[in-house]
Structure 1
């Protein structure tokens, strides 16, 4: 059997924009934890470090879809250059403010402006969609992107913290900012693979993609999926600490991501023919079922095994979710639609970490995983209720446009 990943990268330009995009999206994982690592060392206050990092993360979650909406209207190169420039300059100001002990408000202002960083995963998937639209290779490309996202989270956070601890507090943020600047520049310069700008038919102004029912369903489901992801990290740290083996947390978290990474690559190679909404239903059901043993894993080996098994459905969920968005969202708002979905993941991770932390503090470390159980069941219920819409049965021709555009 031929290698499907070799096939997708045989298209001219794909290797180059994929490599540049990977570099440009490392700050997704490096920046939030890098801010915490930097400010906790320079200011000695974890609440301040967490507050500044949260300001950046939540603002980016709100701004990124608007940036992607502008990309859909004007093109990647037109929008990414100025927004990335703002983000890079703001990150540099944040680093300077931390190093030079500028007033506290400057930290928050810089973090707020740094949130202009665009959603590179959405830009990459938009390019793959432009090349392989309505072809089976697109599922393989999305599988590769989901696996790459996993690798970013595995390597990015560790690299950021490692640099800050081993060299100097600002090291992680400096490297993250350099990756953002150089990666995005290399990505933007590759005009041959840039998606064409498309417009919604008719004279009605283009509305936001979040008003589309499929985007709402997928985004809500992935809020719950993101919560399971973050809960596993928080609970693993708490449980291994209680067991007297805090260093084992990195191993447990690592096998969680590795399980998802491997299964995602396998799924992309197999390219199953089952309808995407049914594949997604299977994936989130597995996610819900495999979360059930987590609260009962009382040793590090059992915890590692349970976490590994519970992570196998993460990448398949992401792959099929993005595939559905590609099919159910009009071409003129595809980048924004993808960005809303990735935003849902980020919001879920933030909320999951908060709720799991509260559960651990209130009920004990083992009980943090009940958040994963509830979140997994909620994701499965959301996708089950939305099956008709995700299948295109409630839409015109399988595409779910805005009500104004359909009139």
Structure 2
């Protein structure tokens, strides 16, 4: 049996942009927690560390789709270069301000400007879409990207905190900024795989991809999915601490990500033929179902097993969600569409962490997982109600028939 991953990387240029893109997106996981680790050690105030980190994360969630919209219009190289420079310089100012004891307002200003950091996962998926559009290999490529995203979240956060603790407070942020600069530089050198600009100069202004109903549905669903992801992390830390085994938290969280990682790779290799909207419905149904045992896992072994099982649907959900965006969004706004969905995951993680933390504080560690149950049901209802739109059968937008005709 042929290796589908070997096949997608046999195309010239794919190894180069994938390797560079992996480095460039490590700051997605490293920067938010790196800011917390850096400021909490140097300033001794967790509220300040959290507030500056939240400023970066939430501003980036709002700005990155606008950056991607410019990418669709002017091309990756033309937009990523200045956006990355602004972000790198702002991160360096944040590091310097922390080290030199600059006023608090400079930290917030630097975090705000650093949020110009582009959505590298969206740029990567846009390149794969350019190469394999309307071909089964695209599903394999998206599966690889989802697995790579899992590795970023597994390795990035741990690396950032580990460097800050083992070396000096700014170490994690320095390495994160270096990854962003070096990875983006080599990514932009891969001009042969850069997607063509499909925007027609002189045409009427292009509306935002978030106004398309399929993008709205998928983004909302992935806000719920992102919430389950963050809730698992917060609740695992709280429960293992309550059980007197705090060191087991990293093991439990790692098992959660590994389950998703493995199933995602398998799904990409199998490349099922079922309609993507049905695959997505099955994935979120499994996500909702496997969340139900989580609040009842009363020991570390049971928790590890329950978390592993609950993680198996994460990557399949991401793979099919991004595949649907590629099918339902015109090429001229694809990068922005993918970025909105990615932003939904980030917003969901932020909200999930907050709500789960509140639930743990007020109702006990075990009850944090009820947030996962509620979020899983929310994702299932969203995708269930949106099946006709995701299938292209219920479009009230003039762009939908164009997308259907291209299939």
TM > 0.5 fold call = yes
What's the CA shift for 1:351?
0.2
Aligned match of 1:292: 292
Counterpart Cα distance in 2 of 1:91 and 1:142: 30
Aligned match of 2:211: 211
After superposition, the C-alpha distances for 1:318-362 in whole angstroms (9 at most, x for unaligned) are 000000000000000000000000000000000000000000000
Unaligned runs of 5+ in 2: 403-407
After superposition, the C-alpha distances for 1:133-184 in whole angstroms (9 at most, x for unaligned) are 0000000000000000000000000000000000000000000000000000
Aligned match of 1:31: 31
Counterpart Cα distance in 1 of 2:22 and 2:273: 28
Aligned match of 1:75: 75
Aligned match of 1:339: 339
Contact in 1 for aligned 2:139/2:271 (Cα 8 Å): yes
Aligned residues: 403
Counterpart Cα distance in 2 of 1:208 and 1:274: 30
What's the CA shift for 1:379?
0.1
Contact in 2 for aligned 1:228/1:352 (Cα 8 Å): yes
What's the CA shift for 1:193?
0.2
After superposition, the C-alpha distances for 1:232-265 in whole angstroms (9 at most, x for unaligned) are 0000000000000000000000000000000000
Contact in 2 for aligned 1:29/1:156 (Cα 8 Å): yes
Aligned match of 1:243: 243
What's the CA shift for 1:203?
3.6
What's the CA shift for 1:204?
2.8
Contact in 2 for aligned 1:60/1:117 (Cα 8 Å): yes
Classify the secondary structure of the residue corresponding to 2:284.
Answer: helix
Classify the secondary structure of the residue corresponding to 1:400.
Answer: helix
What's the CA shift for 1:199?
1.9
1:302 equivalent to 2:280? Answer no
So what's the TM-score if we normalise by structure 2? 0.97
So what's the TM-score if we normalise by structure 1? 0.97
Aligned match of 1:173: 173
Contact in 2 for aligned 1:32/1:53 (Cα 8 Å): yes
Aligned match of 1:360: 360
Counterpart Cα distance in 1 of 2:46 and 2:394: 49
Contact in 2 for aligned 1:392/1:398 (Cα 8 Å): no
Aligned pair in 2 of structure 1 residues 191, 227: CA closer, same or farther (>3 Å)? same
Aligned match of 2:9: 9
Aligned pair in 2 of structure 1 residues 313, 339: CA closer, same or farther (>3 Å)? same
Aligned match of 1:228: 228
Moved over 3 A (4+): 200-203, 395-399
Counterpart Cα distance in 2 of 1:396 and 1:86: 39
What's the CA shift for 1:201?
10
1:328 equivalent to 2:362? Answer no
Contact in 2 for aligned 1:330/1:401 (Cα 8 Å): no
Contact in 2 for aligned 1:36/1:53 (Cα 8 Å): yes
What's the CA shift for 1:394?
1.9
Contact in 2 for aligned 1:221/1:382 (Cα 8 Å): yes
Aligned match of 2:54: 54
Aligned match of 1:103: 103
Aligned pair in 2 of structure 1 residues 185, 314: CA closer, same or farther (>3 Å)? same
Counterpart Cα distance in 2 of 1:57 and 1:387: 31
1:196 equivalent to 2:199? Answer no
Counterpart Cα distance in 2 of 1:378 and 1:395: 22
Aligned match of 1:154: 154
Counterpart Cα distance in 1 of 2:108 and 2:396: 46
Contact in 1 for aligned 2:212/2:397 (Cα 8 Å): no
Unaligned runs of 5+ in 1: 403-407
Aligned match of 2:392: 392
Counterpart Cα distance in 2 of 1:387 and 1:201: 35
What's the CA shift for 1:398?
11
What's the CA shift for 1:200?
6.2
Counterpart Cα distance in 1 of 2:328 and 2:202: 19
Classify the secondary structure of the residue corresponding to 1:116.
Answer: coil
Aligned pair in 2 of structure 1 residues 28, 401: CA closer, same or farther (>3 Å)? farther
1:136 equivalent to 2:132? Answer no
1:269 equivalent to 2:278? Answer no
Aligned match of 1:405: none
What's the CA shift for 1:400?
2.2
CA RMSD of aligned residues (A): 1.5
